[in-house]
Amino acid sequence: MTDVNPVPAGASTGAPAEYPPSTRAGKGLFGVAGTGDTSGFGGLVRQRPPVVTPPRPFGGYLDEVYDALEEAYPQFGDAIERVDVHRGELTLHIAPERIAEVCRVMRDDPALRFELCSSVSGVDYLGSDERRLHVAYQLTSMTFRRRVRLEVGVTPDAPEVPSVTSIYPTADWQERETYDMFGVIFVGHPNLTRILMPDDWEGHPQRKDYPLGGVPVEYKGAEIPPPDARRTYQ
């Protein structure tokens, strides 16, 4: 992947870069980079998250989890698309069609024992990932007191992901919420209906191309634009 906002020469203030170079934080006060336009009329530009494949060892228990899964799951090479380690958290990017299998191994293997699926939630990486609709599964091992995140990405045209409700029944409502908010279709879910929005709602509100729908507000004679139409600082 390429950086959508390459830093022009001389735009950086030369402060020591503390974070991976694909992020703009840590460069100069308030991370000024690019054109240095602070007027805000550059428009709201979303930036891509960094893709940094970490070197082994990952640190802590992360290596043990990774190795145990590799040993317990024969299709490991096919299923794991990418590995991220950020702030001491391990993210395994799984091929969407394999997620249920991986979850079953994660739950049942004696060396893994991720008994609890803490959370299932969606993230829309519009503009930075071709398979922009991501679903993140936060698994918790109560036996070993570990956490790991599994992530899958699908396109809005083919948003099918196998449901993990047969492995983690708690994912039932959380998958319904992800369907409701992002339009990810969980194949095999017993009752995939909207949960927070009304049944006849159109669209999936948490997608990044779904507008916030704010209205301008008048305050002391001046018109304050809605939050999604306000100028942003670049």
Partner 1 sequence: MTQSYAASRDTTEGKVFTVTGGDWDQVTSGIDPLTDERIVVNMGPQHPSTHGVLRLVLELEGETVTEARPVIGYLHTGIEKSIEYRNWVQGSTFVTRMDYLAPMHNELGYALAVEKLLGIEEQITERATTIRVLMTELNRISSHLVWLATTGMELGAISMMLYGFREREYILDIFEEASGLRMNHAYIRPGGLAQDIPDSVVRKTREFLTYLPKKLKEYEDMLSGQPIWHERTKGVAVLDVTGCLALGITGPVLRAAGLGWDLRKTMPYLGYETYDFEVPTATTADVWGRYEVRLAEIRESMKIVEQALDRLKPGPVVIADKKIAWPAQLAIGVDGMGNSLEHVAKIMGQSMESLIHHFKLVTEGFRVPAGQVYVSIEAPRGELGVHAVSDGGTRPYRVHYREPSFVNLQAIPAMAEGALLADVIAGGASLDPVMGGCDR
Let me know: does 225 contact 210? Beta carbons within 8 Å. no
Question: Contacting partner 1 (CB under 8 A), which of 58, 73, 168, 179?
Answer: 168
Contacts for 139 with CB less than 8 Å, ≥ 6 apart? 103, 106, 114, 116, 117, 118, 147, 148, 149, 150
Q: Is the dihedral of CA 206, 184, 155, 162 positive or negative?
A: positive
DSSP conformation letters of 165-208: TTT-TTHHHHHHHHHHHH--EEET-TT---SSS-TT--S-TTST
Q: Is 89 in the site for partner 1 (CB under 8 A)?
A: yes
- 29 three-class SS: helix
- Of 54-62, 65-73, 75-83, 84-92, which part binds partner 1 (CB under 8 A)? 84-92
* Shortest CB 27 distance to partner 1, Å: 9
Q: If we measure between CA atoms, which residue out of 173, 118, 182, 120 comes closest to residue 154?
A: 182
* Shortest CB 75 distance to partner 1, Å: 25
Q: Is 1 in the site for partner 1 (CB under 8 A)?
A: no
In the complex with partner 1, the residue whose CB is nearer, 80 or 172, is 172
In the complex with partner 1, the residue whose CB is nearer, 3 or 78, is 3
Contact letters (x/-) for partner 1, 95-134, by CB under 8 A? --------------------xxxxx-xxxx---x------
Burial class (CB in 10 A: 0-12, 13-18, 19+), 105: buried
Q: Is 29 in the site for partner 1 (CB under 8 A)?
A: yes
- Site of interaction with partner 1 (CB under 8 A): 19-20, 22-26, 29-31, 38, 46-50, 86-87, 89, 91, 115-119, 121-124, 128, 136, 138, 142, 145, 147, 149, 168-174, 177, 181, 194-198, 205-206, 212, 214, 227-228, 230, 232-233
